[in-house]
């Protein structure tokens, strides 16, 4: 399976989401565009600017089971004929039973324009279009050629400073040793008020009992041999969370999250310190200069803000919160037994 993008008319955000999810699901992303477009892609095909040249190339490289991203209904019809799936950049899947109607509608509009009439142009792309596209593409990526689910797809809303999120990370790693899971981790900064130097939990949470907290957290971590209760320092996580997007675009989301959790909870480093983050980037093979530039310019600040709005709209109250599709399945303080039982139940339902 591969993702094939008709990149001549694909919105930038949709292309970035293809690359992001392609990295997460280990599915190659092919882009096809004329030489008039500047596209950065590992599998990029440049064609001439003649009419239909890009469409013909997309059809030629498409194989059964591929996912084609296009807003051209005619091209969608052709790739559906090759037993591929077709998705618009707004998240609308083209289906064989409706494609004839869409083509008739397109021809009617074209006839109107040829006669001097006017039709509405495309509306401005919205954040909701991005989210709809991401959800739809993620759904298709969990389906193989025979239409059977390949793996359970989960989204986890988290923050690096939360010990319960660290537990969920450990639980997920253990569960994935025996079960096919595709897990995407969505950043949510829960303590933006903490300064770069960080603080301690007793100053962040009122009336916390440190000894009781340590015992309870470490007991939860026993099945996966982690001890989050030994750590009472609360860092500012904004930069570490912004860097998740940078790492995701480089295909190293999981490596980054694992390394940051280790630095915070095991090594006791202040992950609010940019120098600490750059050292982590070097350790896992990320472009440290590129990360430094991204953090200094706030390239991904808007991503954090968008996630915060999303969490508010969903009325989330706890981290971690875990979704399967559009259904909330787990949240807050969890035991490994509860975590694994729920995921096994979801897997059986697939």
Of the listed ranges 133-147, 174-188, 238-252, 319-333, the one predicted with least confidence: 133-147
CA–CA distance, 129 with 157 (Å, rounded to integer): 20
How are beta strands 152-158 and 181-187 bridged, if at all?
Answer: parallel
Residues 279 and 240: their CA atoms lie apart, in Å, by: 12
Where is mean pLDDT largest: 18-22, 216-220, 323-327? 216-220
Between residues 139 and 273, which one has the greater pLDDT? Answer: 273
Q: What pLDDT does residue 224 have?
A: 97
Higher-confidence residue: 199 or 101?
Answer: 199
Phi first, then psi, for residue 19 (nearest 5°) are -70, -40
Give dist(CA 29, CA 16) in Å, integer.
10
Encoded tokens for 216 = 């309870």
pLDDT band at 145 (very low <50, low <70, confident <90, very high): very low
Q: Which residue from 195, 186, 193, 196 is spatially nearest to 303, judged by alpha carbons?
A: 186
Which pLDDT band, with edges at 50, 70 and 90, does 205 fall under? very high
109: pLDDT strictly greater than 70: no
Report yes or no: 198 and 168 within 8 Å, Cβ to Cβ: no
pLDDT at 101 over 80: no
The Cα–Cα gap between 71 and 106 comes to: 12
Mean pLDDT for 228-256 is: 93
Range with the lowest mean pLDDT among 105-114, 127-136, 167-176?
105-114
pLDDT of residue 41: 74
Q: Which residues does residue 321 pair with via DSSP β-bridges, in sequence order?
A: 157, 331
Residue predicted with more confidence, 239 or 28: 239
Q: Which pLDDT score is estimated for 84? A: 87
Q: Quick one: pLDDT at residue 93?
A: 86
In angstroms, the CA 185 to CA 232 distance is 23
Q: Is 168 helix (H, G, I), strand (E, B) or coil?
A: helix
**In the predicted model, what is the mean pLDDT of the chain?**
87
Whether 147 shows a pLDDT value over 80: the answer reads no
């Amino acid at each position: 399976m591969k993702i094939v993008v008709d990149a001549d008319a694909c919105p930038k955000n949709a292309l970035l989401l293809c690359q992001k999810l392609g990295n997460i699901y280990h599915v190659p992303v092919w882009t096809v565009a004329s030489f008039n477009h500047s596209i950065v892609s590992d599998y990029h095909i440049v064609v001439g600017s003649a009419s239909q040249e890009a469409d013909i190339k997309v059809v030629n490289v498409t194989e059964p089971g591929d996912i084609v991203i296009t807003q051209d209904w005619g091209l969608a019809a052709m790739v559906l004929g090759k037993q591929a799936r077709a998705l618009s950049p707004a998240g609308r899947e083209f289906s064989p039973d409706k494609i004839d109607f869409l083509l008739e509608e397109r021809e009617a509009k074209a006839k109107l324009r040829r006669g001097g009439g006017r039709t509405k142009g495309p509306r401005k792309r919205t954040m909701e279009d991005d989210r709809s596209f991401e959800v739809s593409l993620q759904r298709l990526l969990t389906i193989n050629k025979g239409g059977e689910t390949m793996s359970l797809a989960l989204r986890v809303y988290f923050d690096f400073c939360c010990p319960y999120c660290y537990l969920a990370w450990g639980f997920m790693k253990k569960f994935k040793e025996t079960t096919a899971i595709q897990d995407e981790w969505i950043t949510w900064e829960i303590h933006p008020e903490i300064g770069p130097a960080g603080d301690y939990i007793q100053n962040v949470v009122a009336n916390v009992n440190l000894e009781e907290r340590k015992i309870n957290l470490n007991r939860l971590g026993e099945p996966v041999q982690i001890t989050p209760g030994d750590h009472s320092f609360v860092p500012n996580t904004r930069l570490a969370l912004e860097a998740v997007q940078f790492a995701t675009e480089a295909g190293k989301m999981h490596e980054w999250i694992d390394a940051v959790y280790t630095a915070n909870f095991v090594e006791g480093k202040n992950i609010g310190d940019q120098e600490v983050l750059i050292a982590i980037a070097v350790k896992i093979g990320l472009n440290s200069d590129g990360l430094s530039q991204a953090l200094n310019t706030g390239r991904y600040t808007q991503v954090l803000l968008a996630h915060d709005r999303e969490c508010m709209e969903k009325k989330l109250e706890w981290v971690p919160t875990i979704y399967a599709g559009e259904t909330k399945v787990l949240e807050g303080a969890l035991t490994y037994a509860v975590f694994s039982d729920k995921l096994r139940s979801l897997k059986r339902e697939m």
